[in-house]
Structure 1
């Protein structure tokens, strides 16, 4: 349903490498729990928004 690319610090510290891989300039290092938390929060927001338009 969702995914988040985990980039090691060696990648996020090397902006030339990120540019070559077409990774956004604003992308910074995040420990593994941080992207997982973002995925869960997006899923909750999606379910909540869907409930507004549905019968339940």
Structure 2
């Protein structure tokens, strides 16, 4: 659940960056869905990296 919430906020941040760079030609719903998915996968990757680093020490 925590990962989904963090992914949502990262996705909203990515959406804001996309709007900042003028990528508003895409439908807003598509940008939000892609941003949330990217944010969720990014947080998953960061968590996996942190767990792997902790295990290696």
Query: What's the TM-score once normalised by structure 2's chain length?
Result: 0.49
Bigger relative contact order, structure 1 or 2 (CA pairs below 8 A, ≥6 apart) = 2
More helix by share: 2
Tell me the TM-score normalized by structure 1: 0.50
**Larger Cα-atom Rg:** 1
